[in-house]
Amino acid sequence: MLKKCYNIKKYIKFTSKEDFMDFKQLETFITIVKTKSFTKTADVLYITQPSVTNHIQALESELNTSLFVRTRRSVTLTQAGSIVYKHALNILASYDEIIRDLDIYSQNLKGTLNICVSSVPRKIILPNLIEKFSKLFPDISFNISNDDSRTVIDSILVGETDFGIVGLKISNPKLIYTQIMDDHIVYVVNKDAYPDLKNYSVINIEDLSNDKIILREIGSGTRQIVEDELKRNNSLNVISNSVATIHDTNTILDLITKGVGSGFISQRMLNLSDFKDKVKILNIKNLYLNRKFYFVYNKNLQFSNINKIFKDFMMDEINELKKGLDINSI
């Protein structure tokens, strides 16, 4: 039962025995009262006799009182020890009750989480997170919607969505953003385009004006990053004659392989796609297309139990990523 509760307590911030007054000391103390022997207590608890002595000395030091009167033939409680014994029994009984209640609680965690994600995180981040969370909490279901980053953030602000994962950070005092990972946006063309150039060759921004560019929709993090960088270079006009605007990255890649046009694609998405060996990546001089993905929620959200658990779960997983783990390992 304790093992089962361990998984749940990780996310509900349950405190272990070691975070209270040292429970090992209390267990040792109670066992001595019952066995009337330090030696027998060591045998019962599978610890050494010096450890038994250390536990009692530490407890007496913390409480600033003597708990036992020891003679060669007996171990008896002092008056103060009798008071401590009564409360120690209650403390350990309460702990066992907490464990039982947590087990019941863990079995009754049911409900639905509303999550809205932008297109790239939906494919490269969310699946592994959902898989892992569902193994821990199989009775919690998900209502997952997909939209551009701006719409995701709007849905969080109006309370339609509990949590979001986005590729664009829009400042708002109500929003809490936590960075998940970095990404790089690359310019992708058909393999036969720019025949004199190899993969990862460098072109100028002005060269884009001759290309038929397929853009992501307005509001997407990818498009926002591209437009911001082009504006910084006073070159937004190079994408004014786009051939199409599409919500889905894979559809854009498919059209690129068919020679319809070129486009700006998440490097992580490209690496995971079936099209990565069918296209060419070109670097654009003076265009720095780096961005981050964020876990976001409204700090004024009235958190239910399952909201709290999912938020804590996400914080733990993000911390693991910051230690250098790949997203596919979470």
CATH code, domain carrying 66: 1.10.10.10
Same domain, 146 and 219: no
Query: Could you tell me the residue range of the domain that residue 144 belongs to?
Result: 111-180+299-325
Residue 330 has pLDDT above 70, yes or no: no
Which of 80, 107, 134 is a domain's end point?
107
Residue 186: predicted pLDDT: 97
Same domain, 207 and 165: no
The CB-side HSE value for 139 (13 A sphere, CA atoms) comes to: 8
Same domain, 218 and 285: yes
Residue 9 has pLDDT above 70, yes or no: no
Same domain, 129 and 176: yes
Residue 72: predicted pLDDT: 84
Residue 8 has pLDDT above 70, yes or no: no
Residue 105 has pLDDT above 80, yes or no: no
Q: How many residues does the chain have?
A: 330
Same domain, 176 and 270: no
Crossing angle of helices 79-107 and 23-35, rounded to 10°: 120
Q: How many domains does the chain have?
A: 3
Its pTM surpasses 0.95: no
Residue 97: predicted pLDDT: 76
Same domain, 213 and 236: yes
Residue 22 has pLDDT above 60, yes or no: yes
Q: Is 73 part of any domain?
A: yes
pLDDT in tens, 274-292: 999 999 999 999 999 999 9
CA proximity to 125, closest of 277, 319, 255, 317: 317
* The two three-digit tokens of residue 169, written as one number: 């950070």
Q: Is 174 part of any domain?
A: yes
3-state SS record for 31-86: HHHHHCCHHHHHHHHCCCHHHHHHHHHHHHHHHCCCCEEECCCCEEECHHHHHHHH
Same domain, 176 and 98: no
DSSP assigned state of 289: -
* The two three-digit tokens of residue 216, written as one number: 């992501």
* The two three-digit tokens of residue 43, written as one number: 């045998």
First to last CA, the chain: 25
Q: Work out the average pLDDT over 137-149.
A: 91
Residue 240: predicted pLDDT: 84
**Residue 103: pLDDT band by 50, 70, 90 thresholds?**
low
Residue 19: predicted pLDDT: 44
Q: Is 88 part of any domain?
A: yes
Same domain, 173 and 306: yes
Q: Is 15 part of any domain?
A: yes
Q: Work out the average pLDDT over 77-85.
A: 95
Q: Work out the average pLDDT over 245-272.
A: 94
Residue 96 has pLDDT above 80, yes or no: no
Same domain, 196 and 56: no
The residues near 160 (Cβ < 8 Å, ≥ 6 apart) are 114, 116
Which of 107, 132, 154 is a domain's end point?
107
Separation in Å, CA 302 to CA 94, 151, 162, 298, 308: 30, 21, 9, 9, 10
Strand stretches in the chain, DSSP E:
68-70, 75-77, 111-117, 140-146, 163-166, 175-190, 202-203, 213-216, 244-246, 262-266, 279-284, 290-298
Same domain, 17 and 47: yes
CA proximity to 125, closest of 259, 314, 316, 324: 314
Higher pLDDT, 318 or 99: 318
**Residue 11: pLDDT band by 50, 70, 90 thresholds?**
low
Same domain, 197 and 165: no
Residue 324: predicted pLDDT: 62
**Residue 76: pLDDT band by 50, 70, 90 thresholds?**
very high
Q: Is 95 part of any domain?
A: yes
Residue 20: predicted pLDDT: 46
| CATH, residue 246 | 3.40.190.290
Q: Is 187 part of any domain?
A: yes
Residue 10: predicted pLDDT: 56
pLDDT in tens, 177-205: 999 999 999 999 999 999 999 999 999 99
pLDDT in tens, 229-244: 999 999 999 988 799 9
Which of 66, 86, 107 is a domain's end point?
107
Residue 131 has pLDDT above 90, yes or no: yes
Same domain, 168 and 305: yes
Residue 118 has pLDDT above 60, yes or no: yes
Alpha helices in 108-180 (DSSP H): 119-124, 126-136, 149-157
Residue 301: predicted pLDDT: 84
d(CA 119, CA 295): 14
Residue 1 has pLDDT above 70, yes or no: no
| CATH, residue 149 | 3.40.190.10
**Residues 126, 181 contacting (CB under 8 angstroms):** no
Q: Work out the average pLDDT over 209-222.
A: 93
Q: Is 330 part of any domain?
A: no
Q: Is 235 part of any domain?
A: yes
Residue 104: predicted pLDDT: 59
pLDDT in tens, 23-54: 889 999 999 999 999 999 999 999 999 999 99
Residue 329 has pLDDT above 60, yes or no: no
